């Protein structure tokens, strides 16, 4: 599962780090407000989202698109000009292209991969399988694989936290 998530995330991260996409300006014709409700175990929260529609023009003047919809952080008045990046067939604001989040996902995939290898090697997590302590004792070449898998898992979690909070 970690490999599949990483395979999907890598191209997007590469695109964000390379700065791919065409810079342009969206001339807002209208904005709509949407609410998204999140249900938790003990409470409910509502998130306010905005999407603005308008005409997009590339900075180089090569391309223009009409009726482009962009998710925004606030509501804009009709006629406002906001910076928008076109990447393939999608349009998004430059601040929404955050490579830190994608890097955090990749780092967390490293932890999941290390834990998955541990489970495959020891049978931990299977139905009626051994507990954590018993499976650790049955780890092949425990003096080598234990620190390597534990270190990879810890490194992935630490890197994910740093990428998500700092970048």
pLDDT in tens, 69-119: 998 888 889 999 998 888 777 888 877 667 788 888 889 999 999 999 999
What's this model's pTM, rounded to 2 decimal places?
A: 0.59
> What is the number of H-type helices and E-type strands within the chain?
4, 5
Using CA atoms, how far residue 93 sits from 26, 71, 88, 90, 160, in Å, is 10, 8, 14, 10, 24
Please report which helix (H) or strand (E) contains residue 17, including its range: helix 2-18
Which tokens hold the place of 9?
């995330």
Question: For the packed helices 142-166 and 99-122, what is the interaxial angle rounded to 10 degrees?
Answer: 160
pLDDT > 90 fraction of the chain, expressed in percent and rounded: 41
Q: Which residues pair with 53 in a beta bridge?
A: 30, 69
Predicted local distance difference test score (pLDDT) of residue 19? 64
Q: How would you classify residue 63: left for phi > 0, otherwise alpha for psi between -120 and 50, otherwise beta? A: beta
Predicted local distance difference test score (pLDDT) of residue 80? 92
Which tokens hold the place of 163?
């990428």
pLDDT in tens, 39-75: 877 788 888 889 999 999 988 777 888 899 998 888 8
CA 30 to chain centre: 28
């Amino acid at each position: 599962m970690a490999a599949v998530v990483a395979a999907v995330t890598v191209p997007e991260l590469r695109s964000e780090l390379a700065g791919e996409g065409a810079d342009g300006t969206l001339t807002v014709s209208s904005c709509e407000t949407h609410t998204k409700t999140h249900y938790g175990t003990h409470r409910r929260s509502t998130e306010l989202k905005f999407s603005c529609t308008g005409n997009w023009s590339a900075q180089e003047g090569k391309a223009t698109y009409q009726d482009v919809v962009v998710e925004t952080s606030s509501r804009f008045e009709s006629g406002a000009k906001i910076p928008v990046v076109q990447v393939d067939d999608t349009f998004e604001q430059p601040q929404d292209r955050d490579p830190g989040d994608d890097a955090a996902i990749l780092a967390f995939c490293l932890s999941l991969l290390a834990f998955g290898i541990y489970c495959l090697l020891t049978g931990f997590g299977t139905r009626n399988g051994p507990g954590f302590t018993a499976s650790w004792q049955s780890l092949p070449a425990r003096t080598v694989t234990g620190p390597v898998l534990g270190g990879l898992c810890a490194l992935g979690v630490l890197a994910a936290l740093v990428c998500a909070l700092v970048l």
